[in-house]
Each structure stands twice: as structure tokens, then as C-alpha cells.
Structure 1
Amino acid sequence: MKTVLLADDLKFTRVILSRAIRSIEDCEVIEVENGEQALEALRNNNKIDVIVTDIMMSPTNGLELLKMVRAGKTAAARDIPYIIVSGAITEEVQGALNDLDVSGAIAKPLSKPNLNEAWREIEKDIKAGGRTMRPVIEYDAIEVSQLLELRAFDQARQMEITDDQNELMAFLGAVPLLESLSHGELELLGRQARTIHYSGGEVVDGKIFGTTRLPLISMGEAEFLEPTELPDGEVVEHRTAHLEAGNALGTFNFMELADDYNHPKVRTIRATDAVVLEFGDPDPNSELRRIKSKVEFAIGQILTRRVGYANKSMAMVLTRQLAETRVKRTAGGYVIMMFVLLAIYTIGMRTLLDIELKGSARTLSSVVMILTFLAPFIIMLRKGSIKAVDLGLTFRGAGAAVRDALLMSSIFIGVLVACKFLLVTFTEAYSGQPTFALSQDFTRLTSTGSVDWLFYATNIVIYALFVPVQEVIARCGIQSLLVEFLYGSEVRRATVAIIVSNFVFAAAHTHLNVGFALATFAGGLFFGWLFHRNRSIVGVTVAHFMIGGTALFVLGLEGFLK
């Protein structure tokens, strides 16, 4: 028995395709929603014999998936039979499909004879030992990205489903609303059905359907929108339902609801076709009127289930909001505490501004600063309102994070060395100084006048011990919490969090010297980006030690920052 992998982002379409495939051959059908899930299914199942997909899926659409298969970039054999069933097969798309050696390309709505023909071609290929594949480089060279613009799909003119009675009956038979109707009743509705087309983003005028017409989506997507007014008077529209193929485009006046009932606004998401069923008949005892009553009952059941689902959804939303509020309250409290401690710390260190801190004194001041900031973070974690792993305080993914840190830090260090070389070579003020030099503040001479390497190494060890503590405070304690506390897109929250957390941490170093604080801020931007990239404290700690250790103990840059 064959195993077929079926990928389509619309559940209704998967039902129709799966039913059609099984009617041709008794086989197992594995259903997935997009190309990414299809790739995972191919990795987890080495017995898949045929792939059937749509084109318009995300992430990884059908064209991209076919190209990956033919180029040998999936777990499937390169010559595995591949059928495309899509409503967006333009002339250009068909050309690309032919170049990619597609086994069959069928336009939606699905025609069983076309599927039968494609299946026979597959059987011929299998008996012949499979298709002959061209070199991988030829498939890699085929450009598909420009063919995937939404405009190209929306402009693809489809055959009206009501033009083919067999296709129309297959569609009506798969609509959940009509599952209680007999074949004869479906045929009666099909005789008067017509197709209506909407472009993407078009608001549907329900008045045209009156009380006797019911539109069912055959292609495309739509949404229910509910407007709400904010305190400042701004009106915001919220999506309350997502409608795909097989759903009613809206009941509008089809159901005899209360006079004060406000029908939701309906808007298409992309180009959408709807089959409009006509139930009008002046005879109250007619067959159409009886069928309408059955459909109204089915709609009522769906609306009842939708109310129950809405209640559960509301409870889930409120639960998430409560959890989010708790996280933001904890994060906000910690951030406020950080600013208070920063103010206290800055005032306390004010007396040291005129004192030249070196060696142990500098280390001691840094220890005081670190412990001041670390204490409230430890208290917050012990309360348990935020988990350490959510803040990046974890060894999960440490291997990949360390490898990334080694690569990025090496590049950063290379730039740092090059900058100092240029500085001492072409700048008169630093002319004659070496590119590599020991740190002035952490160097001590022995009684014989030579460098006390044990003391120097001890300072490096102390630095290495406090680097992870500093990163825990700056990244997990400030940056991660700011990301949780702020609103907006992920990029915006991360950017603001990186900048603000580094301002706070750099300000705590101004008592040493302004140059050192500015260097802390500049380097911190890189560390913040690296932490956000890998979400692991291990990787950014390695990067901090490599870059900071090189700058202080190998290049002696601290002398340049005064």
C-alpha cells in the first residue's frame, strides 16, 4: 500500500484531496499544513511514495519544496513522484513546474479525471524504474521566487466551479454545513448555484444575498471583523473568525435572527470565490424551503458550538493576559529597582571620582557594583514568577551558542587589533606605542623590576570569574526583562532592551572613567545582539571574556580610554 504525503494549508482542501486520492487507490495519506511540516514528515518517514501539495503555503511553498526535492535537499528520493494541485498555475508557474520535472500539475478546483490521469503517469514512471533526473546544479539554477508574488496568484483566472456539475457536487458534498443533506438535495441546490468572485481585501456586502441565498467559500480566505472604540476615539478592528474554503462567507440575513443583532463585517483576505446557493421559493412547503430549514438547523448547531468555543477562547485569553500581567509586573518592579539602585550606587561612588582607582581598588569597586545589581535579581528568581530559562539563564543550546560566539568574537577581535594598529601607526599622539601591551592598571612589578606574572594572571582569573556574573545581570537581569516588559514587535522590543540595558550598565562604570563607560556601552551592544541571537548566557559570556580579556590584558586599551 502506498503512502502519500499531502500538504495544503486549508483543512477543507485536504479533506477533498484525501478523499479523491483514496477513491483512486487504497493508500495511507499523511496530512500536513505547509512545506516545513512536509520536510519534517519526510525526515520522520522513509516510506513515503508520492507527494501531493498546493503551491500557496507558508513557510516553504509548494514550488520551493519541489525544487528542494529535485535538488536532493530533502530526505526524499530526488525522483519521488510529485503532484501539484493549485489554484495559481499561471503560464509562468507551469513553465517552472515543467523545468522541475513535476509528475502532474492540476488546477483547482480538483478534477478527479485529471487526478486519475496524473496517477496513471506516476504508475508508468514507477514501472519504468523512476524518472531520469538531471544534475542537481540544473535544478538549483531554476528561479521560483519571482513567481510567488501574491499578485500573480490573485490574477490567475480559475474555472468557475459551477461550470462543472461533478466538481460542484464534490464540493457541496464536502461542506460541513451540508453534510445532513442527501445526494438528491445537493443536486437540487447545485442546479441553481452560481459563482461570485471577490478580490483580496474586499468588504463583502451581505445585502445582495437577501434572506434566501447562502454563499460558501470554494477558494480563498475571508475574516470576520469586529470594530471597537478606544478611549481616545480611535476605532480598531479585531479579527473574530478566520474563514477558509468550505465555510459560509457569512450568514447575513439568511438566518432569522433578532432585529438588534449586528452581523460582523466580512472582508476577504485574498482573492476569493464563493458558491452562492439559492433557497428562494414562494411555496412555503416546497422542497427548497425544507432543505433551507435543515441548513438553518446545521448553522444553529455550529453557532452554538462557536459560542462555547468563544467562551473557552475568552478564558484562555484572560489566562494569558493574567500570566503576561504578572510577568510584566515582576519585570517592571525589577527594572524600577535597578534604576533606584543605580541612583544610590552613583551617589555613593561620587566621592571616588577624584580618586585614581587601580588594580585591587578597581576590582573591589566592580565587585561592589556587581553585587549591588545581582541581589535583587536573585530575589526575583527565588519568587518563581519568572523562570530562569525564560531569561536565557540556561545551558540549553550552549554548544551552538559557543560556536557562534567564537566565530563572531574572532571577527570582533580582529577589527579591534586592526584599529589599534592603525591608531599607533598613523596617529601622532600614540606614535611609537606597541600594538600589543599589558594593562597598566593590572600590572605590578617585582622587586627585581620584572613583571609580576602571577599577579597579572590572578587578575585575569578574577576577570574571568566576574564576566558571567556581569552578563547574567546585564542580559538576563535587565535586557531579557525589558523584552518581557515592553510592548511591540520582537525586533523593536529587542532593540530598545539592548540599548537601554547597556546605558544602565555603562552608567554604572562612569566612576572609573568616561572612556571606559563608553567602551562598555559599545561592546555591550555587540554582546546584547549576540545574546538575543542565541538566547544563551553561555555564548555571550564566552564572547565577553574573549573580547574584554583581549582588550584589557593583551592590547592594553584601558590606557587609551582615559
Structure 2
Amino acid sequence: MTTIGLDRLQASIQSNPLFQSMTEDEIAGIAEISEVAELSAGTVFIREGETDKALYLVERGNVEVVKAEPGSGNWLVLATLGAGTCIGETSILEGNVARTATVRTAEPSALIRIDPERMIGDRAFDSVRIKLLNHVAASLTGKLDATNNMTVAAMKNDLETNKARIAMGLFTVNLLFMLGIYTLALKSLNTLVINFGSNLISIAILALMSAVMFIMIKKSGYPMKTFGLTLEDWRGVLWRSFLMTLPLLAVIALLKGVVLYMHPEIDDQVFSIIPIIEGRKVDSTFYIYGLAYALFCPVQEFISRSGIQSSLQNFLPPTRSRTWIAIVLSNLMFSTAHSHLNLTFALLTFFPGLYWGWMYARQRSLLGASVSHVMVGVWIFFIVGIEGIWNALF
């Protein structure tokens, strides 16, 4: 312990909130039972479990409040306190109150040590002790309120975490169920495709998957908005989706032009809809298929985005790559569900899905991805047309 000027000691005590209600005479009395400790870094001056009554004010430097981790020998830093901080104010309470944590210096520090035991039995300190007790009681009340608020917040966080785990578990069970059934039935599906056509079988699979996803969403306990099922800012979503899709349509037309240039033997035009524009007769099934495709695009996006991608984005552990993991996995799973048609088609559904997954992650609305899917699908199959190229190359 060292001695410093009385004026400096009284000024340091007076500046602390614990003593600001004290008179000059009371501050002078406190200074008489105080001394300054100049401590090097790492010095322990309060030990957990001890019952000493010393009260400390940090005049200069920083100190750490630490607790020993059971069985490891390591120290867990609970808080770092700087100049002007009061430590151990509960020591002025009656009784042998044990220290609840260990406190050590984090760097060379100057501490003012006040000995409350020297106040006991001295009537000159009665008013000081009463003011300190009132202040400590108010401080403890505030800390109790803060602790309660932190406890409530922690409980809410735990509940939300458990809720997310339950939702992720439900999602995983449903997904494994669907993939298991699909894998077991794959051979039978190939036979059904031959007998009844791929369109009818694909519709049945989509209907089953969408029903399972809808049940999962309803049972998750989360609002529909969490899964992109919202009409908030729908005009803006539609407009942005339209603008974001136009470059993709241009690239698709350009790619078909390049393929036709490289394969002049393919009897086709860049825009297969030209015969319709020129007034040539077209089978009515052309329009029926176009309408059916446009209707089922939102169903496919509901399964991929609302069902799979949203669940992965919301319930996977938070990491920087979580969004892209969700996008890739959702499209990979959805492409797998097309393997009963053929592997090439299943792979081709994967790559445009990455674009719609990215769009959905930006907008968090199923509406935008669905509209873009309809635009691209109608553009590919009914305006640009890929049937001639598909039959020639595959």
C-alpha cells in the first residue's frame, strides 16, 4: 500500500457515484480509513469465497472479474472494469458475506482500498454507513432488475433456439421420408412414366411434395412470412423480378442462336413461336401445356423455396455460407426428384434453380421467384423453344 495526497484521495472518492451524496466532512472521514494500492498486472486482490470487507475503487487501470472453470484450471472472464468503478460494495452489508468472484488487475492499476470494518462502533460514521447502505440497496435492486431482464432474454433466446431445433427436426424427418419413398419407388416410377407419360407422374409427385411441405410449414409454429408466403410490397417484388429476369431471357435466346449456328443441321429458328405469329395452325395442346406449366411453376417454387430453402436458411446454424448452402441443397434435392425422367433433365433443372434461389434469398418472397420461373419456363419451352435442339442433341 502507498500513501498519496489527501486532496487527491478525497477527490477520487468524491468522483465515484457511490459517494457523491456525501458531505465534505464525510468524504474526509472515508479518506482516513482508505489507502491506495499500486498493483502490477495479474495481481489478485479479491478471492472468491473469502469474507473480507474491503471495498475498492479503481482509480487508474483495468481489472477483471473472473471465475474458475470447474475441473479445468482455466479462468473465465466475466467482466472488465475500468477507472471509476466500485468493486465489492456488498461488503458493507452486515454478516459474513462471501465474495462471489475473484478480481485481478488486467494491467498495472491504482486502487483505493476502503475498510468498512473501521466504521463499526464509531458514531462519526453512522451517517456514512446509512448512506452507503441505501446506495447499495438501490444498486442491488437495479442489478437484480438487470439480471431478471437478462434471464428473461436468455429464456426467450433458448425457447426460440429450441423452437428452431424442433422445426429443423420436423423438416428433416419430412424430407427424409419423401426422399426415402421416392428412392424406393424409383423403378416403379420409371415404369409408370412409360405407361402413363411423364406429365401425369410429375404432377402426382409435385402434389405429394407440396402437401408434405404445407403440413410442415403449418406445424412449424412460425408465421407464413418466414417461409416467403407474403404479399408485402408485392408490386415492388414483381417489378424487380421482371427486371432481374430480362437479362436471363436474352442470354437463353443468345445461347440457342449459338447452338443453331454451330449445328446448322438442326431445322429450327431462334424463336419457335414465329410460326404462330405468322398465322400457322398450332395444335391446341400447345396452349394447354403452356397454361399448365405456368400454373405449376409456383408449386415447384413453393416446394423448393418455401419448403426446403426457407427451412435451411432459418434453422441451420448461423454461418456466413448458410444462405448459399440452403440455395444449393434445395436445388439439389429438387433436381433429385426429377431423376425418374432422365439424368440430363434433372441436372438442367438444377442450374436455373440457383438463380431463383438467389432471387428468393434477396426478396424473401415466393412471389418473385415464382413469376421469374414462369417467365423463364414459358420463354424456354413455348417462345424460344428447345424441343428441336433437345431431340437433335440428346
Match of 1:213 among 53, 56, 59: 56
Q: Is the 8 A contact 2:228 2:306 kept in 1?
A: yes
- Distance in 1 (CA, whole Å) between partners of 2:329 and 2:83 is 47
Q: Is the 8 A contact 1:216 1:276 kept in 2?
A: yes
1:420 maps to amino acid: K
Is 1:418 aligned to 2:249, yes or no? no
Kindly report which structure 2 residues correspond to 1:91-170, keeping only aligned pairs within 5 A, or say none.
Answer: none
Identity of aligned residues (%): 24
Is 1:436 aligned to 2:271, yes or no? yes
How many angstroms does 1:395 deviate by? 1.0
State the TM-score, normalizing by the size of structure 2.
Answer: 0.72
Is 1:181 aligned to 2:22, yes or no? yes
Q: 1:309 to 1:405 in 2, by over 3 A?
A: same
Larger Rg: 2
Match of 1:392 among 228, 235, 245: 228
Is 1:481 aligned to 2:324, yes or no? no
- Distance in 2 (CA, whole Å) between partners of 1:400 and 1:471 is 19
Q: Could you say which structure has the higher helix fraction?
A: 2
Unaligned regions of 5+ residues in structure 1, if any? 1-163
Task: Report the equivalent of 1:545.
Answer: 374
- Distance in 1 (CA, whole Å) between partners of 2:347 and 2:60 is 60
Superposition CA RMSD, Å: 5.0
- Distance in 2 (CA, whole Å) between partners of 1:188 and 1:414 is 86
Kindly report which structure 2 residues correspond to 1:400-549, keeping only aligned pairs within 5 A, or say none.
Answer: 400-425=236-261, 427-428=262-263, 433-437=268-272, 450-452=281-283, 454-489=284-319, 491-549=320-378
Q: Is the 8 A contact 1:224 1:267 kept in 2?
A: no
- Distance in 2 (CA, whole Å) between partners of 1:536 and 1:527 is 11
Task: Report the equivalent of 2:100.
Answer: 261
- Distance in 2 (CA, whole Å) between partners of 1:421 and 1:228 is 69
How many angstroms does 1:472 deviate by? 1.6
Is 1:361 aligned to 2:191, yes or no? no
How many angstroms does 1:357 deviate by? 6.9
Question: Could you say what secondary structure the match of 1:488 adopts?
Answer: coil
How many angstroms does 1:244 deviate by? 8.6
Question: Could you say what secondary structure the match of 1:451 adopts?
Answer: coil
Match of 1:371 among 207, 210, 234: 207
How many angstroms does 1:368 deviate by? 0.9
Q: 1:305 to 1:281 in 2, by over 3 A?
A: closer
Deviations 1:282-303 (A, max 9, x none): 9655979975885476345424
How many angstroms does 1:505 deviate by? 0.7
Q: 1:282 to 1:408 in 2, by over 3 A?
A: same
After superposing the two structures, state which structure 1 stretch, 319-328 or 297-306, moved more: 297-306
State the TM-score, normalizing by the size of structure 1.
Answer: 0.53
Q: 1:401 to 1:204 in 2, by over 3 A?
A: farther
Q: Is the 8 A contact 2:304 2:334 kept in 1?
A: yes
How many angstroms does 1:507 deviate by? 0.4
How many angstroms does 1:388 deviate by? 1.0
Is 1:338 aligned to 2:175, yes or no? yes
- Distance in 1 (CA, whole Å) between partners of 2:135 and 2:242 is 62
Task: Report the equivalent of 1:97.
Answer: none
- Distance in 1 (CA, whole Å) between partners of 2:354 and 2:134 is 61
- Distance in 2 (CA, whole Å) between partners of 1:361 and 1:486 is 38
- Distance in 1 (CA, whole Å) between partners of 2:29 and 2:255 is 82
- Distance in 1 (CA, whole Å) between partners of 2:117 and 2:243 is 78
Q: Is the 8 A contact 2:58 2:82 kept in 1?
A: no
Task: Report the equivalent of 1:62.
Answer: none
How many angstroms does 1:403 deviate by? 3.0
Q: Is the 8 A contact 2:46 2:99 kept in 1?
A: no
Q: 1:216 to 1:479 in 2, by over 3 A?
A: farther
- Distance in 1 (CA, whole Å) between partners of 2:176 and 2:168 is 13
Unaligned regions of 5+ residues in structure 2, if any? 1-6
Q: 1:259 to 1:460 in 2, by over 3 A?
A: same
2:221 maps to amino acid: S
- Distance in 2 (CA, whole Å) between partners of 1:259 and 1:361 is 80
Task: Report the equivalent of 1:279.
Answer: 114
Match of 2:187 among 328, 336, 350: 350
Q: 1:188 to 1:381 in 2, by over 3 A?
A: same
- Distance in 2 (CA, whole Å) between partners of 1:500 and 1:508 is 13
Deviations 1:488-525 (A, max 9, x none): 33x33322222221111110011122222112221222
The count of corresponding residues between Structure 1 and Structure 2 is 371
Q: 1:281 to 1:480 in 2, by over 3 A?
A: closer
Kindly report which structure 2 residues correspond to 1:36-47, keeping only aligned pairs within 5 A, or say none.
Answer: none
